Structure 1
C-alpha cells in the first residue's frame, strides 16, 4: 500500500522510478499487487495521474473524493475495497477529536495547528493515537487513516490546515444550533 509518494523535482522521472521500485519490491516479497489511495483535492495523498499512466486501475471510491487504485500482479487477485460505513463512523464523534497515526512526518505539525485553534476557542480535544490496522478500520472516518479531525459528527479535515483555517471552521461549527 502506497501512502505517500513525494518528489520535489517533477518531470524528471523520479516518481516513475519510485513507483517501479515499489512494484518490484512488492513482487519480490510475494505480494499480490500494489494499491494506492488518492484524492485530487489535496496534496496529502499522491496524485492519481502517475498511477493511471502505469496501468493502475480505479477499483473504489469513497466520500470526500477518495479513490482506491490497484496494480494487481495477476487477473485472479481479489481486489481491495472500501467499507461502506463512513457516515456511521463520523456520527460517533461529538467532541473535537483528532485521530492520527505517525506514518507521515507532518502529522505533528497538523496536530499542533488544531490544538492552537481549539485553545483560542476554548474547545477541549480528544486525541486518539491509532495503533493498529484493526483500530484504524474501526475508527477512521475516511480511507486516509493517517490523520482526521472530526467535530460534531463532521469531518473537519484529513490534512494539515493553518491555525487560521481551522479556527474559522471551528468557529462556524460553534455557532451552529445543536
Structure 2
C-alpha cells in the first residue's frame, strides 16, 4: 500500500530534498536560481508543499499572499496559487494539494484563493481541476489569460487585472526579456531567445524583475515571470524553441 504524505518545505527541507521542477538537473542555473528564490520568498510567507508517495516526489503546490505573489493581479486579502502539478494522475493528488491550500487560506482569514490559467501553455495550472472544485472565472486578459477565484467570504471586492496591457507593451521597442526566477525553466527560455536573436544580429535587453512592485509596473502579461517583447509586440510568455523564436523575430523584422 502506498504511503502518501505532504511536506511543507522550508530552507532546511529544501537543502535536503530540493525543489520539484528540474530536479533532474540540480546543478543547472535554473534550478539553483529557483531554490535561491524560494529561500527568499519563504521569509515572506510563501508556501511550497510537496506531495510524497513512498518518499518519492509526485507533486507540489506553491502559493503566496497576493501582496507577495508573482502574478500581475490586484487581489488584496487573497491567496494566489502560482503552480500546482502532479506526476501521477487519477489518484486525487491534485485535489489533496488544492484542499490543503484552501484550508490554509480559510484558517488565516483570507478572502479567497485565485489562480491564473491559460489553455495555450502548460506553464500555468490547467483550469479543469479548479472548475471541478467550484472556482469561477472572474476576469480575462489578452493572450487567453483567465483568473479563477474561490471565495471564502461574502460581499468581497473581486480581484482584477490591470487594464493597460497595450501601454506596457509599447514601452519596449527593442527586443526585451523580462523575467524573474519563480520558474526554473526561465533560464532555458531566456537562452533560446538569445540564441535566436544572435542569429538575426539582435542583442536582447534583459530585465530581471527585482520585486513585486517592479513586476506590477513592468510586466506586459498577468503571468509576470517571463515575457519577451519586440517592437511593442509580445513574442512569448513561456519557453519556445530556438526555431520558433527565430521565425517570430524574423517576421517582425521584415514587417
The Cα shift of 1:117 comes to 0.8
1:148 alignment counterpart: 227
| 2:111 counterpart of 1:32 | yes
1:19 alignment counterpart: 98
| 2:249 counterpart of 1:170 | yes
Aligned length: 176
1:111 alignment counterpart: 190
The Cα shift of 1:83 comes to 1.1
| 2:213 counterpart of 1:134 | yes
- Structure 2: distance between partners of 1:166 and 1:103: 22
Look up the SS of the partner of 1:71 in the other structure.
strand
* TM-score for both structures, normalised by structure 1: 0.95
Look up the SS of the partner of 1:102 in the other structure.
coil
- Structure 2: distance between partners of 1:172 and 1:4: 33
- Structure 2: distance between partners of 1:29 and 1:103: 24
- Structure 2: distance between partners of 1:29 and 1:158: 32
- Structure 2: distance between partners of 1:81 and 1:75: 17
**Runs of 4 or more above 3 Å deviation:** none
Q: Which has the higher strand share?
A: 2
2:143 alignment counterpart: 64
The Cα shift of 1:57 comes to 1.2
Deviations 1:64-114 (A, max 9, x none): 000001111011222210111001110111011011111111111111111
Look up the SS of the partner of 2:176 in the other structure.
strand
In structure 2, runs of 5+ residues without a counterpart are 1-79
In structure 1, runs of 5+ residues without a counterpart are none
1:52 alignment counterpart: 131
